[in-house]
Amino acid sequence: MSVENKIVLVDYKMGNYHSVTHSLHRIGVESIISSDPEVILSADRIILVGVGHFQKAMENLHSLNLIDCLNQFVLIQKKPILGICLGMQLMAQYGEEGDCSGLGWVDGTIKKFKVSDNLKFKIPHTGWNQIEYQKESPIMNKIPSSTEFYFVHSYFFQSDNQDIVLNTTNYSTSFISAIQIENIYGVQYHPEKSHDQGLQFLSNFINL
């Protein structure tokens, strides 16, 4: 494990940061939780975690003056970023929840699940489900296709750009469960709640 990497979790008041820092600690990686743009820009990698309302999250990012530094980190410096759950959704152009623009880094829209069978498929989608590879990536190293990860979400990432799709998952219908374009990585599932395979995933991100 590289000890040189400085890992910062972006604090925008919407995430379960400590479960992620605990998982990173388990793989020997220390991290910082910060909303300071200078600290964020000094990182080698950042993680955008999040649980909650899309519009509220974007309002928080704006009010904390984090949009410009995130754009600088991701689009100009092109250093690795990992979005988890809501953190991935914020990377899209638009979210239905609050009728709100996102960060706009990745082609896509965040849409609410509409299931065909309300008895069989409960919303939010909660629990373990398989991911299927749609392309190869070093962030999936040592994680076989069909591995199960833990999900909790009512909205999903929809995009017509198949080049960004890293994983898909089936729940009533097939949906995008992970994205990757250049230095931008996002997962709908929660690696910090997904036992050994989640720790492997986080380790892969740290070692990109």
Q: What's the DSSP call for residue 202?
A: H
- How far, CA to CA in Å, does 75 sit from each of 3, 79, 102? 25, 8, 15
Q: Classify strands 148-153 and 125-130 as parallel, antiparallel or unpaired.
A: antiparallel
Assess whether 192 carries a catalytic annotation: yes
Give the H or E element holding residue 9.
strand 7-10
Q: Indicate which residue of 69, 97, 153, 190 is catalytic.
A: 190
Q: Indicate which residue of 85, 97, 125, 153 is catalytic.
A: 85
Assess whether 190 carries a catalytic annotation: yes
CA distance 25 to 19: 10
Q: What's the DSSP call for residue 171?
A: E
Q: Indicate which residue of 96, 97, 192, 195 is catalytic.
A: 192
Assess whether 59 carries a catalytic annotation: no
3-state secondary structure 188-199: CCCHHHCHHHHH
Length of the chain in residues, anyone?
208
Q: Which of 91, 54, 87, 89 is nearest to 175 (CA)?
A: 89
Could you list the active site residues? 85, 190, 192
